[in-house]
Every structure is written in C-alpha cells, then in structure tokens.
Amino acid sequence: QKEVEQNSGPLSVPEGAIASLNCTYSDRVSQSFFWYRQYSGKSPELIMSIYSNGDKEDGRFTAQLNKASQYVSLLIRDSQPSDSATYLCAVNRENTGNQFYFGTGTSLTVIP
C-alpha cells in the first residue's frame, strides 16, 4: 500500500467552478499535511499546510483534514486558468526522521 494516494486525474473544471482534490494516507501517526502546486518543468511550491482536524482556509483555497478517515482534501474556489497545474499531497511523520511522503499528484486543467 502506498503511503499517500491521489487520483492522478486529469481533472478538468470550467473557469469559476470549484475544483476538489483528494488524498488518502496509510499511516495513522502522520502528523503534518501539505498541498503543493507544481507547474510543468518547475519545482513544487507550497499552497497549504494543515495539522489538525477540520478546515483551513486561505483565500480561494481550503484544506480539509479528517484523521479518523485518514483523508485530506483541497478545494479551489473560483478556479482560474492559472490554477492549471499538478497538485501534490504530502504527509510528514516524526517517527521516520520527519520524512515527507508524496502522492503522485493530480493534474488539474481549468478551462476558460
């Protein structure tokens, strides 16, 4: 079983719609959760971090964490063509020397 699993997509949404990206993780001791955006040929950049159950909002982005279900999601409201990228989910575990475990990413295309 992979540490972190994401639907690889591709996911297409019209401009202005809500994009919903999902991620599950296998180890219950995972402590920190991150969403990265990666444009083609570029390195990942942090969008959101979340550490406790519930929702965390930052502008058009909302991260949701449910530790009981081992599930983390990212909602992008009012999607823009500039949001078209691959989104990586990552978790961090102290018991493995603070390694990061990444999903393979979900490709999002926002159609104008």
Partner 1 sequence: DVKVTQSSRYLVKRTGEKVFLECVQDMDHENMFWYRQDPGLGLRLIYFSYDVKMKEKGDIPEGYSVSREKKERFSLILESASTNQTSMYLCATGTPYTEAFFGQGTRLTVV
Q: Is 112 in the site for partner 1 (CB under 8 A)?
A: no
Among positions 55-84, residues that touch partner 1 (CB under 8 A) are: none
How far apart, in whole angstroms, are the C-alpha atoms of residue 74 and residue 83?
13
Give the integer Cα–Cα distance in Å for 36 and 15: 20
Q: Could you give the CA distance from residue 92 to residue 22 in angstroms, rounded to a whole number?
A: 17
Q: Per rule CB under 8 A, is residue 42 in the interface with partner 1?
A: yes
Radius of gyration of the chain (CA): 13
Q: Is 51 in the site for partner 1 (CB under 8 A)?
A: yes
The region of 10-18, 21-29, 34-42, 73-81 touching partner 1 under the rule CB under 8 A is 34-42
Tell me how far, at minimum, the Cβ of 35 lies from partner 1, in Å.
10
Region of residue 16 (phi > 0: left; psi between -120 and 50: alpha; otherwise: beta): left
Comparing CB distances to partner 1, the nearer of 4 and 79 is 4
Q: Which is nearer to partner 1, 36 or 79 (CB)?
A: 36
- Minimum separation from the CB atom of position 80 to partner 1 (A): 23
Q: Reduce the DSSP state of residue 87 to 3 states and report it.
A: strand
Contact (CB, 8 A) for 47 and 40: no
Question: Which residues of the chain form contacts with partner 1 (CB under 8 A)?
Answer: 8, 31-32, 34, 41-46, 49, 51, 88, 90, 92, 94, 97-100, 102-105
